[in-house]
Structure 1
Amino acid sequence: MRAIQKRDLVPAGLVAPALAVLLVIFGIPMVQLFLISVNAPTFSFGNYRAFFGQPANIRVLLQTIEISAVTTLICVTIGYPSSYLIVGLPKRLRMVLTVLVFVPYLASVLARTYAWVAILGDRGIINNLLLNMALISNPLPLIYNRTAVYVGMVHIMLPVMILPLVSVMLGIDKSLMMAARSMGARPFSACWRVFLPLSLPGLRAGSLLVFISCLGFYITPAALGGLRDTMLSTFIASAVSSSFDLARIASSAFVLLAVAAAILFMFGVDLSDNRGFATRSSQKSGQSRPYLVPAVGRSLSEIAAPYRARRWAVQLYQAGEGGPLWATAGTVFVGLVLLYLLFPGIVVIVMSFSPGTYLQFPPSGLSLQWYHSFFGNPSWTRAAWTSIQIGVAVAILSTVVGTLAAFGLSRASPRVRSVLTMVILMPIVLPIIVVGIAAYLGLLNLGLVGTKIGIVLAHSLGAVGMVVVIVSASLGNFDRRLEQAAMSMRAGPFRTFTKVTLPLIRPGMIAGSVFAFLFSFDEVIITSLVSGFSIRTLPLKMWENMRNEIDPTIAAVASLLTLLPVLWLALLGASWWCANKLARRTSPDPAA
């Protein structure tokens, strides 16, 4: 009995630091916000009645849901066929394309948003090209409208849709499709009835991530949209910076949180249970339609069965019609998607070398004047150094706390692991503006608003979750028998961890620290809420300059932020190669 209790206490102790940070900076403030929103201790819904009593608030809420839903639908429409085509490619080409999709995901949101400002602006690339070709006489209104918002948001969220789909599709047994074809199913029918149900977990996970992330979008709609494209997150952020009516802010935040919770409740079931989901879906759809429809469908299918059999026998050993045409169309489609994802970053990098007093694409020459302007301006370099300091601190704190939590979760029982993982990942799942409001209130309770320590703690809310996910994946492939062998040789728990476990999960820890640093270095929404007026990080200064003036130095900053993930990916690839080389060197020779 004591052994069982000790086994349960050890994982809880390892997860405790992560839960403590989450509780103090996020959990308790969320409870406080809810109590404020319901006017505790009198407990009334006056704040919510006031929110829904104003038509402008309802319009902004519905507008937020509409923009998030349309962005999700566009991402599904583009992301699903892209993922299907990428998965069908040879392994090396598939890995290259996955990395090319992954690089824009790691790039700064501000840099990508600024790129679309430079592309869609009145004097942007598209309008300048059309004016120079004399196709138009006045610039087209390509920016500050709903279409520009969709273009920018889909560009940012499309990798979030593609990557889960590729991960799930790679695990689908291709022989199932071949079996369906051997039974006479056409390619589309086999894909619709076999492949699609098996890929629903990835589709559902990507859709949930995209929709809930879009609910908290603030930067892109404010930079690319007009006054009619205001989202609820912008409404909440402006209330924080102007009136700071905490009751109004709390009620607005929980209305947005209620929308996210409702979507998660309806669709956020066990993503790994694809077979159960498919079964439940088919049962529900069968119960919801009249019995006459499936009966007629079965009768028509039986009548057409002999014809399908003869057609299948004739085409079995023939090359599929339109094979090269479909292959070419798929190649063009994937190429256009990659161009859409990569072109804005390329534009920013090329424009940053413009020699004139304004940005040009393509530039008339090459000059480093905007990089000299960046490195020679103390306000820019001070902001960059502040971001580096905060990012390194977040990476260290999140890596230590997240690794301990992941190690403890790997030793916990499945039910406890599921609950604790859901709690730790909550700041990543919820809309970022709600997390920022809670973090502000939590730091206000500690007196850390406007301090670097406060920003580090606020950024660590999401960074710890990223480290837990990545290190947990490394621990999932870890052979526990190696630890048992070390302990059988009288190695203590600490020595076993440092000599056996740590070297094998080090690549996951390095990857987690890199993601934590990038998350902190690019964060602007939470930073704008908790930094006060005394601390300016690089993304925050960049955002302020984008709103107040058009400084070409921003192009140099955006190009550096775009190239930063490429550098980190190169470092991760080098560490992964060294780890594999070490593993091959230390592994026993099978022929020995």
Structure 2
Amino acid sequence: MNKLQKLVRMPIWLTLPAFAILLAFFGIPTVVLFLNSLNAPNFSIANYQAFFGQAANVRVLLQTIEVSLVATAICLIIGYPTAYLITAASKGVRTALLVFVAIPYLTSLLVRTYAWIVILGDRGLVNTMLLESGLISSPLPLIYNRFAVYVGMVHIMLPVMILPLVSVMLGIDRSLMAAARSMGARPFAAFLRVYFPLSLPGLRSGSLLVFVLCLGFYITPAALGGLRDAMLSTFIASQVETSFNVARVAASAFILLAVAAAMLAVFGLDLSGTQGRSAGPARRSRWNQLPSLSSLARYLNELATPYRAKRWTASLYKAASNSRLPQIVGAVFVAVVMFYLLFPSVLVIVMSLSAGPSLQFPPSALSLQWYRSFFGDPSWTGAALISIQVGIAVTILATVVGTLAAYGLNRTFPRLRSSLTMVMLAPITLPSIVVGIAAYLGLLNFGLIGTKSGIALTHSLGAIGYVVVIVSATLANFDRRLEQAAKSMRAGPLQTFRRVTLPLIRPGIIGGALFAFLHSFDEVVKTSLISGFSIRTLPLKMWENMRHEIDPTIAAVASLLMLLPVLWLFALYVTWWRSRPSAQRALLEPAA
């Protein structure tokens, strides 16, 4: 009986509401989707054979992988030195730079894509400036091609690469580099042999995130690319819109899912950097299989020993260089990256104030006509109201369920916690189009297609994951001895949670809630599958207007949406600042 009571009181049961939602609207539908792709109960791989039997399908799949790899490589080339320079900056400068990186990361994906249409279009900023200066006689083809796709995707994914790298680099002890330099290592050698291996976990996780997310890109390639730049997500979406053959769509979705799952299986199981270290002995063993080359290497190494000793002695007493060139180059590089991240948003805000019949930069005169057009059009305000209603519902549901799940996971075994967390994060790590199709099948069984409740439940699949991540990070720094102290003073479990735990983790809960709202307010792909023809959220209406006509009103809408991340950061700062005195009160009065 006592064992049964202990089992019932285990915190892991707090994860049941979250897993119930995931199972009903994502887990079971995904299994059904896979069975449909195999033509169950008459199992066959005919749908997969039909996919690979068409050269156009294979070309789209290879193109999706190629675009994702190239975008990831560009993000890595730009993001790694940017993250390194951010961590090397002073605390104040570092904080400002991280805010500049976070603002575009939190800005709507649709808004950032629209900004590049305004910049790269035939009548966009770049072509207009070149035409007016007389450098070109006709607009350059800067949009609807692979170049525009890379520009847009890298702009969207670059913060996803920088933030994990900064997180890992901040934990690297800089004195290790100084120790390597004191032993005669040159700056580049010290970086390559000491700093770089320690930063591999951030490099690996950032690259994995960027690549997997790029695989599921739909909006940006469709808006900025041409017909030859279609991604597999675009191909699946066209299948859904034209003839919703569940078996064929399921096969295409699981082929895309297989690529993402393969990358997660290979690189996602160990992000601690042990993989990179384990490769060293293998390389040395293969080298030792060539005795003649090994002997030559040892001989050359012995010849170089006196030179290295002399260089170490000379560099040991050498005066430090006063050259400021590396600092200037680093500052210019970071400034260019920040300009690339922030300028599109600033440009759209400025152009939304144009008084002319079309968007202009710089505006000939300032006017709020496009904002009046937005607030005076019932179709726009109605779509905004629906997005707010759905966002609030998603925020409440995801915050409550996600916080309970994070608390339960924090109190369970580490191995079980890791596995369950990965399952809970599947809707935000797997391609969005696959999650949307699975959610469509799940909601179809409950008759919720084309309803606000269906849209809210679909958005909650990803929003719960964000809340779990943020609240879990807050709980990781929580001292559980405070709860034990409160219970020792005869406080019950509920009173302890309300008076001690909740005040200390409140900033994480509020941060998770804000992330959940932003996630819902920015969702387009899954909403387009679930909404039917009766409900139009604000991002969905923006996407439809972008596809059919460039309405200047979109610039005003985009400018308003850009205020959301700024308000989010301000609310988060106020929450953290106000949480300090409440935390102190919780410590002084744990069970009053």
TM-score range with shorter-chain normalisation? over 0.9
C-alpha displacement at 1:573, in angstroms?
0.5
Contact 2:466–2:512 at 8 Å: present in 1 too? yes
Contact 1:8–1:412 at 8 Å: present in 2 too? no
Structure 1 residue matching 2:324: 3-state secondary structure = helix
Post-superposition Cα deviations, 1:212-245, rounded to whole Å, max 9, x if no partner, equal: 0000000000000000000000000111111001
Question: Do structure 1's residue 218 and structure 2's residue 215 form an aligned pair?
Answer: no
Which residue identity is paired with 1:51? Answer: F
Contact 2:499–2:586 at 8 Å: present in 1 too? no
Post-superposition Cα deviations, 1:170-210, rounded to whole Å, max 9, x if no partner, equal: 11111211121122111111111111111111001000100
Contact 1:26–1:438 at 8 Å: present in 2 too? yes
Structure 2 residue matching 1:171: 3-state secondary structure = coil
1:277 is aligned, of 275, 278, 283, to: 275
Which residue identity is paired with 1:90? Answer: S
Which residue identity is paired with 2:327? Answer: A
Which residue in the other structure is 1:541 paired with? 541
Which residue identity is paired with 1:128? Answer: T
1:425-444 superposed matches below 5 A: 425-444=425-444
Which residue in the other structure is 1:177 paired with? 177
Question: Do structure 1's residue 303 and structure 2's residue 303 form an aligned pair?
Answer: yes
Which residue identity is paired with 1:426? Answer: A
Which residue in the other structure is 1:344 paired with? 344
Structure 2 residue matching 1:141: 3-state secondary structure = coil
1:473-488 superposed matches below 5 A: 473-488=473-488
Which residue in the other structure is 1:393 paired with? 393
Number of corresponding residues: 587
C-alpha displacement at 1:298, in angstroms?
4.2
Question: Do structure 1's residue 405 and structure 2's residue 405 form an aligned pair?
Answer: yes
1:406-425 superposed matches below 5 A: 406-425=406-425
Which residue in the other structure is 1:59 paired with? 59
The gaps in structure 1 that reach 5 residues or longer are: none
In structure 1, distance between residues paired with 2:2 and 2:300: 66
Contact 1:198–1:278 at 8 Å: present in 2 too? no
Which residue in the other structure is 2:327 paired with? 327
In structure 2, distance between residues paired with 1:72 and 1:557: 30
Which residue in the other structure is 2:97 paired with? 97
TM-score normalised per structure 2: 0.96
1:289-300 superposed matches below 5 A: 289=287, 291-292=289-290, 296-300=296-300
Structure 2 residue matching 1:217: 3-state secondary structure = coil
C-alpha displacement at 1:489, in angstroms?
1.5
In structure 2, distance between residues paired with 1:225 and 1:298: 54
In structure 1, distance between residues paired with 2:154 and 2:322: 31
1:88-487 superposed matches below 5 A: 88-271=88-271, 273-274=272-273, 276-289=274-287, 291-292=289-290, 296-321=296-321, 323-487=323-487
Contact 1:216–1:433 at 8 Å: present in 2 too? yes
C-alpha displacement at 1:85, in angstroms?
0.8
Farther off after superposition, 443-452 or 157-166: 443-452
Structure 1 residues 530 and 133: CA distance shift in structure 2, 3 A? same
Structure 1 residues 357 and 479: CA distance shift in structure 2, 3 A? same
Farther off after superposition, 41-50 or 318-327: 318-327
Which residue identity is paired with 1:279? Answer: R
> Could you say what the CA RMSD is over the residues aligned between the two structures, in angstroms?
1.7
In structure 2, distance between residues paired with 1:125 and 1:37: 46
In structure 1, distance between residues paired with 2:380 and 2:282: 57
Structure 1 residues 295 and 527: CA distance shift in structure 2, 3 A? farther
Structure 2 residue matching 1:400: 3-state secondary structure = helix
Contact 2:482–2:587 at 8 Å: present in 1 too? no
In structure 2, distance between residues paired with 1:4 and 1:323: 71
The gaps in structure 2 that reach 5 residues or longer are: none
Structure 1 residues 294 and 168: CA distance shift in structure 2, 3 A? farther
In structure 2, distance between residues paired with 1:428 and 1:131: 43
Which residue in the other structure is 1:40 paired with? 40
Structure 1 residue matching 2:10: 3-state secondary structure = helix
In structure 2, distance between residues paired with 1:330 and 1:423: 40
C-alpha displacement at 1:325, in angstroms?
0.8
Structure 1 residue matching 2:558: 3-state secondary structure = helix
Which residue identity is paired with 1:379? Answer: S
Structure 2 residue matching 1:437: 3-state secondary structure = helix
Farther off after superposition, 196-205 or 286-295: 286-295
Contact 1:395–1:514 at 8 Å: present in 2 too? yes
Contact 1:391–1:517 at 8 Å: present in 2 too? yes
Farther off after superposition, 188-197 or 546-555: 188-197
Structure 2 residue matching 1:326: 3-state secondary structure = helix
C-alpha displacement at 1:313, in angstroms?
2.0
Which residue in the other structure is 2:85 paired with? 85
Contact 1:352–1:556 at 8 Å: present in 2 too? yes
Post-superposition Cα deviations, 1:69-109, rounded to whole Å, max 9, x if no partner, equal: 00000000000011111111111111110111011000000
Structure 1 residues 7 and 579: CA distance shift in structure 2, 3 A? farther
Farther off after superposition, 177-186 or 123-132: 177-186
Contact 1:486–1:496 at 8 Å: present in 2 too? yes
Which residue identity is paired with 1:577? Answer: W
In structure 2, distance between residues paired with 1:578 and 1:30: 43
Structure 1 residues 210 and 226: CA distance shift in structure 2, 3 A? same
Which residue in the other structure is 1:509 paired with? 509
Which residue identity is paired with 1:169? Answer: M
Which residue in the other structure is 1:76 paired with? 76
Structure 1 residues 297 and 386: CA distance shift in structure 2, 3 A? farther
Structure 1 residues 297 and 379: CA distance shift in structure 2, 3 A? farther
Which residue identity is paired with 2:276? Answer: A
Which residue identity is paired with 1:219? Answer: I
Structure 1 residues 222 and 136: CA distance shift in structure 2, 3 A? same
Which residue identity is paired with 2:180? Answer: A
C-alpha displacement at 1:348, in angstroms?
0.6
C-alpha displacement at 1:252, in angstroms?
0.1
Structure 1 residues 182 and 50: CA distance shift in structure 2, 3 A? same
Structure 1 residues 333 and 297: CA distance shift in structure 2, 3 A? farther
Which residue identity is paired with 1:171? Answer: G
In structure 1, distance between residues paired with 2:260 and 2:19: 22
Post-superposition Cα deviations, 1:302-334, rounded to whole Å, max 9, x if no partner, equal: 322221222222223434558411111111001
Contact 2:130–2:136 at 8 Å: present in 1 too? yes
Structure 1 residue matching 2:481: 3-state secondary structure = helix
Post-superposition Cα deviations, 1:483-539, rounded to whole Å, max 9, x if no partner, equal: 111111111111111111111100000000000000000010110111111110000
Farther off after superposition, 98-107 or 300-309: 300-309
In structure 1, distance between residues paired with 2:325 and 2:4: 63
Contact 1:454–1:530 at 8 Å: present in 2 too? yes
Structure 1 residue matching 2:199: 3-state secondary structure = helix
Structure 1 residues 488 and 584: CA distance shift in structure 2, 3 A? closer
1:2-41 superposed matches below 5 A: 2=2, 6=6, 10-41=10-41
Structure 1 residue matching 2:450: 3-state secondary structure = coil
In structure 2, distance between residues paired with 1:358 and 1:97: 34
Post-superposition Cα deviations, 1:517-575, rounded to whole Å, max 9, x if no partner, equal: 00000010110111111110000000000001110000001111112110111011011
In structure 2, distance between residues paired with 1:253 and 1:580: 47
Question: Do structure 1's residue 580 and structure 2's residue 568 form an aligned pair?
Answer: no
Question: Do structure 1's residue 564 and structure 2's residue 564 form an aligned pair?
Answer: yes
C-alpha displacement at 1:159, in angstroms?
0.2
C-alpha displacement at 1:120, in angstroms?
0.3
Contact 1:406–1:469 at 8 Å: present in 2 too? yes
Contact 2:524–2:539 at 8 Å: present in 1 too? yes
C-alpha displacement at 1:8, in angstroms?
7.5
TM-score normalised per structure 1: 0.96
Structure 2 residue matching 1:138: 3-state secondary structure = coil
Post-superposition Cα deviations, 1:337-388, rounded to whole Å, max 9, x if no partner, equal: 0000000000110000000000001111110000000010000000001000
Farther off after superposition, 250-259 or 177-186: 177-186
